Structure 1
Amino acid sequence: MKVSEVLCMNGGFGDNSYASNSLLQRKVISMTKAITEEAVTGVYSNIYPKTVCIADLGCSSGPNALFVMTEVMRTVDKIRKRLNHQSSPEFQIYLNDLPGNDFNSIFQSLPRVQEEIKEEMGSEFGPCFFNGVPGSFYGRLFPTRSLHFVHSSYSLMWLSQVSNVVEMNKENIYMASTSPPSVIQAYYEQFQKDFSTFLKCRSEELVSGGRMVLTILGRKNDDPTSKECCYIWDLLAMALKQMVSEGLVEEEKLHSFNIPEYTPSPLEVKGEVEKEASFIINCLKVSEINWAECGDKFDSSNSFKDDGYNVAKCMRSVAEPLLISQFGESIMDKLFHKYGEILSDCMSKEELKFVNVTISVTKKE
């Protein structure tokens, strides 16, 4: 499986699309708003660029794809007015994701978003130029010293590839307490390689004093197989094992499938930034969000069942293309129905949370 060819969120605006099931990701972006505003304020106040170049890496599709960029533009305009700058800067905005991303849906909604921005900001607000940038952020994407601000949320836990060693992982589809030590080490080494490459590429693309705010699905625990980061995949593996027992999934296919993800601890993120040495760390924070936040409303009459199926729909919008590439499309409805049942049962017994690691850094002079 070549990850770059199959890793993408479900496109369009249908019931299983990322656009319709990414409320939790939107809430996480909102939770880090103050960190983003501080970083953007620092860049604009120190550099005063005539054209502000900003990139969202791993933008995906749906409303979240333009949400961060519009917030950044609002922040810049607020600072401009506070500093009594008469002319507004222009904005060069880059939306990046892998080539399989549904860029069409983003650009279909762009005219409406641009009109709303223009109406909100007034006639003094500078022109905005939007660009789609298909490609892996584990390589160069932009010209040298061309960016002022880089944002990425819930993207950098995805790995560029999965080592062949993980074939020893058998019925685990991710790191687990029963995974061989060599598998866990292979996942960690791939994260180190990928994140270091990401930092090096961005250090070449950012101007001196440029800023980045990165939010990564991670963990607080030092143990990479801890429940707080692996349980969501353990439960999906449980659903797949049920389908193997029913003859709907081949056991060999289950044993050869592994999720290309690594959920790092704050210390692991910090360690790679310090080792790469191109950036100063401004802040490093850990936050949590309940799995139940995948849903929009809380229905006290049937909450746990609804919560479980909402989480299953959220995970389907994220992982379905990966699963289809391995198991085929025909089993997806049944698989995610089982997954929803398992999630509902677990969520009725305990409060489960995702852990977010957010780091804000400045490019060294």
Structure 2
Amino acid sequence: MEVASVLHMNGGTGEASYAKNSLLQQKVMSITKPIRDEAIRRIYNGKLPKCLAFADLGCSSGPNTLFMTCELIETVEMLCRELNHESPEYIIFLNDLPGNDFNNIFKFVECFKQNLNTRVVGGIGKCYITGLPASFYERILPTSSLHFVHSSCSVHWMSQVPKGIENNKGNICMASSSPLDVRNSYYHQFQRDFSLFLKCRARELVEGGSMVLTLTGRSTSGPLSNESHYIWELLAEALNDMVLEGIIKEDQIDSFNIPVYYPSSSELQLEIEKEGSFTLNRLEVFEVSWNAACGEEHNDNSEGYKVAQLIRAAAEPLLVNHFGEAIIDDVFHRYQHILADRMSKEKTVLLNLVVSLTKTT
């Protein structure tokens, strides 16, 4: 599987779209707002740039994309009022893989600018928004062209499925039953990817530039944790049920793996220190319940469905590429019931890591 050409969140605004099923990610962004505000204040006060450039990496599409951009601009404008400074111009780079639904974002850009000018007393500085369809595991912008980098719920996605995991039978990611060599392969792929990510951003950020990353993680050094890959293990359970019923072949699931790795905080910190380009200002850990995917619609009947739709918005393109479109409704119907059962009996949370970094070299 060529991840860069297949991986993307479901586009549009339909029932299974990311736009309709990203309330949990919005909750994560809401929790981490104080850390973003702190970082953007630090870079603005330190540089006082006339043109402020920032990038949202793994922006996807839907309300969360421009929601984050709006918050950052409002924070800077508040600072300008406090310091009696003229508003800077803004250049905003929205990055995701080429399959991302950029068209859906750009439909709302002018409306977004108008609303922001209305919300901010006195209006905002000129705002230029552009799309960057590329993998963030490569250079995507010129040297020293950015003041601030943000990424939420994206960096745990890897550049490729690790090599040498053919014996990860019955699983679709690093799971509690995965052999040790499979776990090591996933970890080493994460190390390569995250180190490359840091090197690329270090070149693109100005000296003293800031970066805030939020990604799903786990609390333990081992993979045996219900706040990490467990949500994917339950999807594998639905697929394995279909193998038992002869709907899909066993070798199909044995050859399918999700390119996702949820690091521990110590693994994340180790890679930051090894790469050496950044000072670690903050590394915080927090939980978000799977129920956050339901928003205000919170009842026993909706919980399993909404969480299944959350994962479908991310995983459907990968599943269609490997298994074909015919099984999709069936697998997520089964997954919905498995999720509802577990959520009624267990504590079901995703653990999140947020890091705030400053470029020093």
What's the counterpart of residue 176 of structure 1? 175
SS in structure 1 of the partner of residue 214 of structure 2: strand
Deviations 1:194-218 (A, max 9, x none): 0000000000000011000000110
Q: Does 1:325 align with 2:324?
A: no
User: What does 1:177-192 align with in structure 2 at a 5 Å threshold?
Assistant: 177-192=176-191
Contact residue 239 and residue 253 of structure 2 kept, 8 A: yes
Deviation at 1:247, TM superposition (A): 1.6
Deviation at 1:111, TM superposition (A): 1.3
Deviation at 1:146, TM superposition (A): 0.5
Deviation at 1:250, TM superposition (A): 1.4
Q: 1:187–1:225: structure 2 CA closer, same or farther, 3 Å change rule?
A: farther
Contact residue 23 and residue 295 of structure 1 kept, 8 A: yes
Deviation at 1:351, TM superposition (A): 2.1
Q: Does 1:70 align with 2:70?
A: yes
What's the counterpart of residue 202 of structure 2? 203
Contact residue 162 and residue 259 of structure 2 kept, 8 A: no
Segments of structure 1 that go 5 or more residues without pairing to the other structure are none
2:306 pairs, out of 310, 313, 322, with 310
What's the counterpart of residue 141 of structure 2? 142
Deviation at 1:65, TM superposition (A): 1.0
What's the counterpart of residue 108 of structure 1? 107
What's the counterpart of residue 345 of structure 2? 349
User: What does 1:235-314 align with in structure 2 at a 5 Å threshold?
Assistant: 235-299=234-298, 303-314=299-310
Q: Does 1:233 align with 2:239?
A: no
Q: How far apart in 2 are the matches of 1:127 and 1:248? A: 55
Q: 1:109–1:124: structure 2 CA closer, same or farther, 3 Å change rule?
A: closer
Deviation at 1:164, TM superposition (A): 2.6
What's the counterpart of residue 4 of structure 2? 4
Contact residue 305 and residue 341 of structure 1 kept, 8 A: no
Percent of aligned positions that are identical:
51
Contact residue 39 and residue 212 of structure 2 kept, 8 A: yes
Deviation at 1:298, TM superposition (A): 4.6
Q: How far apart in 2 are the matches of 1:243 and 1:251? A: 9
Contact residue 70 and residue 116 of structure 2 kept, 8 A: yes
Q: How well do the aligned residues superpose, as a CA RMSD in angstroms? A: 1.0
Q: How far apart in 1 are the matches of 2:72 and 2:296? A: 28
Q: How far apart in 2 are the matches of 1:38 and 1:295? A: 29
Q: Does 1:131 align with 2:127?
A: no
Contact residue 12 and residue 105 of structure 1 kept, 8 A: yes
Contact residue 157 and residue 261 of structure 1 kept, 8 A: yes
What's the counterpart of residue 16 of structure 1? 16
Q: How far apart in 2 are the matches of 1:125 and 1:240? A: 50
Deviation at 1:226, TM superposition (A): 2.5
Deviation at 1:12, TM superposition (A): 0.1
Contact residue 175 and residue 225 of structure 1 kept, 8 A: no
Q: How far apart in 2 are the matches of 1:215 and 1:249? A: 35
Contact residue 224 and residue 264 of structure 1 kept, 8 A: no
Q: How far apart in 1 are the matches of 2:323 and 2:206? A: 44
TM-score (norm 2): 0.98
Q: How far apart in 2 are the matches of 1:155 and 1:101? A: 13
Contact residue 62 and residue 106 of structure 1 kept, 8 A: yes
Q: How far apart in 2 are the matches of 1:124 and 1:20? A: 30
SS in structure 2 of the partner of residue 162 of structure 1: coil
Contact residue 19 and residue 62 of structure 1 kept, 8 A: yes
User: What does 1:33-112 align with in structure 2 at a 5 Å threshold?
Assistant: 33-85=33-85, 87-112=86-111
Q: How far apart in 2 are the matches of 1:315 and 1:194? A: 23
Deviations 1:304-323 (A, max 9, x none): 33111110011100110011
Q: How far apart in 2 are the matches of 1:289 and 1:146? A: 34
Deviation at 1:124, TM superposition (A): 4.8
Q: Does 1:334 align with 2:333?
A: no
SS in structure 2 of the partner of residue 164 of structure 1: coil
What's the counterpart of residue 162 of structure 1? 161
Deviations 1:112-153 (A, max 9, x none): 111101112244521100000000000000000010000000
Q: How far apart in 2 are the matches of 1:209 and 1:347? A: 44
Greater Cα shift, 62-71 or 192-201: 62-71
How many residues align structurally?
361
Aligned residue identity for 1:282? N
Contact residue 304 and residue 345 of structure 1 kept, 8 A: no
Q: Which runs of 4+ in 1 moved over 4 A?
A: none
Contact residue 44 and residue 76 of structure 1 kept, 8 A: yes
